[in-house]
Every structure is written in C-alpha cells, then in structure tokens.
Amino acid sequence: MGVRVLVVEDESRLAAALQRGLTAEGFVVDTASTGPSGLDAARHGGYDAMILDVMLPGLSGYEVVRRLRAEEHWLPVLMLSAKDGEYDQADGLDCGADDYLTKPFSYVVLLARLRALLRRGAPERPTVLTVGDLRLDPARRRVTRADVEVVLTAREYALLDYLIRRPGEVVSKTELLDHVWDGGMRTAPNAVEVYVGYLRRKIGRDRLETVRGAGYRLAT
C-alpha cells in the first residue's frame, strides 16, 4: 500500500492537477477543499503527509496546522501560499509547518520537498546568526544591529549572510563573487567593493574590515 498524502486546496484546478501528478508518482491522494474539512481529514485519515494551502475557506492553513500541533499530531505539513507579502514564510514555519512553498511553484520542487519531508528531513532552519550586536535571522530575512532593524537590499543581505557565517575569517573577493554573486556572471570585482561600502554604511564602518590583498573580514 502506497504513501498517503492529503491535499487541502480550494482552487479546484490546482487541486486536480496535484492529485493527478502525485497519483502518477505512486502516492495515494485524497483532497479536501476547506479548512475545517482538511483539519478533520488530517486528524483521522492516517496520512503520511499533508499539502496545505494557506488561503482556505472556513479556517486558514496556519490555523489548521496550529490546531493539529496543539493536539500533538506531528503529521508532516508542506504549506503553499501566494506570495502576496501579507503572510510570509516565517509565519508559516512559526505556526508549525515543516516546509513552505510559495506560489507559483515548480511541480518538481514540490515533489522533491514532499519526498524530503517523508524521509523525515525537514529543511533545517538555521539558527539566528549573531556576531557582536549584529543579528541575522535567515528565516525572517531580518537583520538587526543593537536590536534596531537594518533594512538591506537583496544583494546586501546575501553578502552579509555569507560573511556572518564565517565570522572573523577572511573571505576573498573571488569567493564572494562566486557565492554571493552568480559565479558565471563575470561581475567585476569592484561590485564587491561597492557593496561592502553600502553594507558598511548600514551596519557600521568598523564592522567590516578590509584585508588588503586578501579580502574582507567581519569583525568578531
């Protein structure tokens, strides 16, 4: 007997597509189209995993997971949500979901994540990274300095993210270009200098040391 998956999704076209696709992969799929009916099915249906939309009539996806967890049902939950900004990924994970996908998503990615969940491997949300009074929360994509939020652009954030995982170590421009920028993109090394400059203005000039001829170092 196959692996049983519950799909809770009110958009009937998407629900049907998922059911078809997952069935073709060998899963046994049931669907529900409202919050309450999904919750009920999850409680009693003996499923191995649940794919759960956030926007549902009757009860939101968040609420469904929250109630399940409160009742100590540990069914793996993969949440789906439109990227409308109102809700974000951190909310989804905070309410007890195991993984999270933003619409529009790739079916292949969904499948991969579902399989990972079934293997009991929730994606690890990294801890909040801290260096001095600088704090970076990857799940929320938030950076604070002395508890004051610092607003960073995508690139600035990616740069800080890379550096803060190796505090005190010297990281070369080439390495940064490879990992923070797209390695194949042939961005000029000067871009690194420019963004180091931006970052310094936001997190403090002395926090990011230049090691001439070698790279940059986040002061510990």
Partner DNA sequence: GAAGGTGCTGTGAAGGTGCTGAGGACGCCA
Partner DNA sequence: TGGCGTCCTCAGCACCTTCACAGCACCTTC
For the chain, count helices (H), then strands (E).
Answer: 8, 12
Shortest Å, Cβ 93 to DNA: 23
Report the run of H or E that residue 110 belongs to, with start and end: helix 107-118
Return the ∠ at Cα 105 (arms to 99 and 111), rounded to 5°.
60
Q: For the segment 117-156, give every residue that binds its own copies (CB under 8 A).
A: 117, 120-125, 127-128, 130, 135, 137, 139-141, 147, 153-154
Return the number of the residue (17 or 191) whose C-beta is nearest DNA.
191
Q: Which residue intervals of 130-212 are DSSP H helices?
A: 154-164, 173-179, 190-203
Q: Does 219 bind DNA (CB under 7 A)?
A: no
Q: For the segment 75-134, give every residue that binds DNA (CB under 7 A).
A: none
Q: Does 156 bind DNA (CB under 7 A)?
A: yes
Q: Does 34 bind DNA (CB under 7 A)?
A: no
How many residues belong to the site for DNA (CB under 7 A)? 24
Shortest Å, Cβ 106 to its own copies: 4
Q: Report the distance separating Cα 118 and Cα 112, nearest Å.
A: 10
Distance of CA 151 to CAs 72, 87, 112, 219, 220, Å? 37, 19, 32, 20, 21
Return the number of the residue (95 or 164) whose C-beta is nearest its own copies.
95
Q: Does 153 bind DNA (CB under 7 A)?
A: yes
Sign of the dihedral defined by the CA atoms of residues 75, 78, 80, 84, in that order: positive
Those residues with Cβ within 8 angstroms of residue 25's Cβ, 6 or more apart along the chain or in another chain: 111
Q: Does 184 bind DNA (CB under 7 A)?
A: no
> Which stretches of the chain are assigned E, i.e. beta strand?
4-8, 28-32, 49-53, 77-82, 99-103, 129-131, 134-137, 142-145, 148-150, 170-171, 208-211, 215-218
Q: For the segment 3-32, give every residue that binds its own copies (CB under 8 A).
A: 13-14, 17, 21
Q: Does 194 bind its own copies (CB under 8 A)?
A: no
Residues that bind DNA (CB under 7 A): 153-156, 173, 181, 185-191, 193-197, 200, 210, 212-215
Residues that bind its own copies (CB under 8 A): 13-14, 17, 21, 65-66, 69-70, 72, 74, 76-77, 83, 89-90, 93-100, 102-109, 111-113, 116-117, 120-125, 127-128, 130, 135, 137, 139-141, 147, 153-154, 157, 168-170, 211-214, 217
